[in-house]
């Protein structure tokens, strides 16, 4: 089924506008704010409450602005689906006209099968081989190219309206690139880099940007010159430290972050002896504890990684001072994942990486571009194992929840003089002992024409796991995974045990291990968060206003009182900004704090009248 999105807009002068578009492989668009803004301006410029778009709405209709360019979505069998939204393309608009985009022939053949030669029907789905996607669309800017084909559902849009909407898509496309940095949707932040600076990592060819647009606290530092020569990753040369405040947060917003989407989020820490004091502090993902950062060496790079689902239109990475040194951070990587990947991660549970091993390799980590998702695969070999490898490509399954890259699957280990292959790991302090274990397995030795066979069982801490007998397929990547809850133990292990009739020992290519992180802390009401963020930005407030306003309760913003029983989410009930140096008019954003009971704006330099919207605050008792 094609994956598409419908964004509903309730803009000024409009009851509802819908914009439909398909999600392509190389974009991560979230452009409703920009489009809504431009549509609002169109209404203001062209007669305010007049014009064909508004008239349709006045008559109770719901016009649609449909993108009629071929729109693509992933298909699990090596195809993509092309969605035509809207009316037929019109007289003379035949399938061969799409040939220039690489879609003509496959569309024409598909239309013949459906008895509709020469015309595309509304909402008709077509399956197109992937090569046509790459040949015909790879040079096209997804949003802008699609915007070139905007058409009104019933008739052509007036050019006065069409061009501003096209401009909205162009601006949104450029804005998305400025945040996501490339067509893959990667966001790579170099913490401590000078504002406005950017560069391309020579090792990965990934663009990096300054962190200045994501945080307004902290102090930039360079690592000690004694360590500069040892650093291959330019993103580790600078850092941002936070000597003030208990909690300091980076916030990554839309369009980079899309609510309900899944991401790999990685935070880097390279101390480099910038201040001569080793340290320890906490790392939070939004309102939830993520991990503890213990810096025990000035010359080692540490990273923390989680797979998480965005529950709002932003993600926050927070550093919490625990009194054992000044928190700092060197970089943040955000990588979008397909919704189907790592299915154990959802809105209620994130996955915290313990290990990701590329077995059978003595040195050299694997990441982008060898892994299109930019996961870090650390090498692991042992004198207890035989390292085996192949130069042949290892294929993923048609439905693959993990998509281990071929270069990782081309190496593996088998035990020496043993029928048992054991992978140990240590407990992870601070978490329940619930682990996601992922074993990536492929037969990379050609056993055809031989009497050799390889079969084995899998055990976790001595207990049979899943009841599956593994018979790896030649050059076919397979992943065995499950969530397991284990009793407390000084050590854990996975054991692969050959069957008695197997002539070959077990084989293992790669191994991922995660601990689960329950997203149990409840964030503040979304409307309150938006309102408080707008108030902070409007008056440039420099207090401890970082992260979530009310949650966790230990980090409530200065001047706020929050109620944790009014609803499922904490609510802002009192706000004191007395003597805060506020200037200008009283913003209407205060009226969006719908549970507000007390508001103190005394002893500031505010001008103008009190907004009428504040009268709608039914709970407000004191102003």
What are 477-536's pLDDT values in tens digits?
999 999 998 888 888 999 999 999 999 999 999 999 999 998 888 899 989 999 999 999
Pairing of strands 219-222, 288-295: unpaired
Lowest-pLDDT range of 176-180, 309-313, 443-447, 474-478: 176-180
Place of tokens 């046509």: 132
More confident residue, 63 or 414: 414
Cα angle, residue 239 at apex, residues 204 and 221 outer, rounded to 5°: 135
Q: What is the pLDDT of residue 182?
A: 63
CA-to-CA distance for 442 and 477, rounded, in angstroms?
5
CA-to-CA distance for 64 and 16, rounded, in angstroms?
10
Cross-strand bridge partners of residue 210: 190
**Which pLDDT tens digit goes with each residue over 206-225?**
999 999 999 999 999 999 99
Residue 23 pLDDT > 60, yes or no? no
More confident residue, 267 or 543: 267
Q: What is the pLDDT of residue 520?
A: 84
SS3 170: helix
Lowest-pLDDT range of 58-72, 154-168, 452-466: 58-72
Number of helices followed by number of strands (H, E) in the chain: 9, 36
**478 backbone dihedrals φ, ψ, rounded to 5°:** -135, 150
Structural domain boundaries of the chain?
Answer: 4-180, 187-337, 353-518, 526-616
More confident residue, 604 or 147: 604
**Which pLDDT tens digit goes with each residue over 398-442?**
889 999 999 999 999 999 988 999 999 887 776 777 899 999 999
Residue 372 pLDDT > 80, yes or no? yes
Token pair of 197, please?
Answer: 């600076």
Q: What is the pLDDT of residue 330?
A: 97
**Which pLDDT tens digit goes with each residue over 341-363?**
999 999 999 999 999 999 999 99
Token pair of 360, please?
Answer: 């059978």
Q: What is the pLDDT of residue 542?
A: 81
- What count of other Cβ atoms lies within 10 Å of the Cβ of residue 11? 18
CATH topology of domain 353-518: Jelly Rolls (2.60.120)
CA-to-CA distance for 472 and 441, rounded, in angstroms?
7
Pairing of strands 64-67, 17-22: parallel
Long-range contacts of 103-111 (CB under 8 A, 24+ apart): 103/70, 103/128, 103/132, 103/136, 105/132, 106/132, 107/82
Do 419 and 501 meet the contact criterion of CB atoms below 8 Å apart? no
**Which pLDDT tens digit goes with each residue over 374-395?**
999 999 999 999 999 999 999 9
More confident residue, 334 or 184: 334
Place of tokens 């270069």: 407
**Which pLDDT tens digit goes with each residue over 290-343?**
999 999 888 889 999 999 999 999 999 999 999 999 999 999 999 999 999 999
**Highest mean pLDDT out of 79-83, 181-185, 356-360, 458-462:** 356-360
Residue 238 pLDDT > 60, yes or no? yes
Q: What is the pLDDT of residue 622?
A: 64
Q: What is the pLDDT of residue 8?
A: 30
The yes/no answer on whether domain 526-616 falls in CATH 3.90.1170.50 is no
CA-to-CA distance for 370 and 222, rounded, in angstroms?
30
**One fold for both 187-337 and 526-616?**
no
DSSP string, 58-111: HTT---EEEE-S-EEEE-TTSEEEEE--SS---TT--GGGGGGGT-HHHHHHHH
Distance from the first to the final alpha carbon of the chain: 53
More confident residue, 36 or 420: 420
Homologous superfamily of 187-337: Galactose-binding lectin (2.60.120.430)
Do 507 and 454 meet the contact criterion of CB atoms below 8 Å apart? yes
CA-to-CA distance for 287 and 184, rounded, in angstroms?
28
Residue 86 pLDDT > 80, yes or no? no
């Amino acid at each position: 089924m094609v994956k598409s999105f419908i964004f509903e807009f309730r803009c000024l002068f409009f009851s509802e506008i819908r914009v439909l578009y398909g999600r392509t492989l190389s974009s991560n668009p979230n452009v409703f704010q920009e489009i809504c803004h431009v549509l609002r301006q169109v209404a203001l410029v062209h007669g305010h409450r007049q014009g064909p778009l508004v008239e349709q709405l006045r008559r109770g209709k719901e016009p649609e602005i449909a993108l009629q360019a071929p729109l693509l979505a992933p298909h699990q069998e090596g195809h993509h689906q092309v969605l035509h939204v809207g009316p037929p393309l019109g007289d003379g608009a035949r399938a061969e006209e799409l040939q220039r985009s690489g879609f003509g022939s496959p569309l024409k053949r598909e239309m013949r099968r459906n008895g509709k030669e020469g015309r595309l029907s509304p909402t008709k789905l077509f399956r197109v081989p992937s090569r046509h996607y790459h040949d015909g669309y790879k040079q096209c800017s997804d949003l802008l190219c699609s915007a070139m084909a905007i058409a009104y559902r019933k008739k052509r849009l007036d050019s006065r309206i069409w061009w501003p909407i096209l401009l909205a898509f162009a601006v949104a496309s450029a804005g998305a690139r400025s945040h996501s940095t490339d067509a893959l949707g990667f966001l790579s932040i170099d913490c401590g880099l000078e504002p406005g600076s950017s560069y391309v990592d020579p090792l990965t060819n990934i663009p990096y940007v300054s962190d200045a647009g994501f945080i307004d606290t902290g102090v930039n530092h360079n690592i000690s010159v004694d360590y500069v020569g040892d650093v291959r990753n330019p993103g580790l040369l600078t850092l941002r430290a936070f000597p003030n405040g208990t909690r300091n947060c980076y916030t990554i917003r839309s369009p980079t972050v899309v609510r309900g989407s899944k991401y790999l989020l990685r935070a880097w820490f390279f101390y480099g002896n910038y201040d001569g004091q080793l340290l320890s502090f906490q790392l939070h993902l939004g309102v939830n504890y993520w991990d503890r950062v213990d810096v025990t060496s000035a010359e080692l790079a540490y990273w923390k990684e989680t797979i998480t689902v965005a529950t709002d239109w932003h993600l926050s990475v927070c550093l919490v001072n625990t009194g054992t040194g000044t928190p700092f951070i060197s970089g943040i990587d955000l990588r979008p994942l397909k919704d189907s990947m790592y299915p154990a991660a959802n809105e209620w549970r994130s996955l915290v990486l313990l290990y990701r091993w590329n077995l059978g390799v003595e040195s050299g980590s694997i990441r982008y571009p060898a892994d299109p998702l930019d996961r870090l695969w650390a090498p692991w070999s042992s004198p207890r194992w035989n390292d085996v490898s192949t130069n042949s490509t290892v294929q993923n399954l048609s439905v693959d929840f993990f998509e281990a890259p071929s270069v990782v699957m081309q190496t593996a280990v088998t035990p020496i003089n043993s029928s048992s292959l054991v992978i140990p790991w240590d407990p992870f302090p601070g978490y329940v002992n619930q682990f996601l274990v992922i074993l990536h397995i492929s037969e990379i030795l050609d056993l055809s024409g031989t009497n050799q066979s390889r079969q084995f069982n899998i055990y976790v801490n001595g207990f049979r796991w899943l009841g599956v007998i593994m018979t790896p397929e030649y050059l076919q990547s397979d992943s065995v995974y499950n969530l397991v809850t284990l009793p407390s133990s000084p050590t854990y292990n996975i054991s692969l045990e050959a069957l008695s009739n197997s002539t070959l020992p077990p084989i293992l290519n790669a191994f991922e291990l995660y601990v689960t992180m329950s997203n149990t802390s409840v964030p503040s009401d979304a409307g309150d968060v938006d309102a408080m963020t707008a108030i902070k930005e409007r008056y440039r407030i420099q207090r401890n206003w970082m992260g979530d306003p009310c949650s966790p309760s230990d980090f409530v913003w200065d001047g706020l009182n929050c109620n944790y029983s009014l609803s499922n989410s904490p609510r802002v009930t009192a706000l004191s900004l007395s003597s805060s140096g506020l200037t200008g008019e009283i913003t209407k954003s205060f009226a969006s704090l719908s549970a507000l009971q007390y508001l103190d704006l005394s002893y500031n330099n505010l001008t103008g009248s009190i907004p009428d919207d504040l009268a709608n605050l039914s709970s407000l008792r004191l102003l």
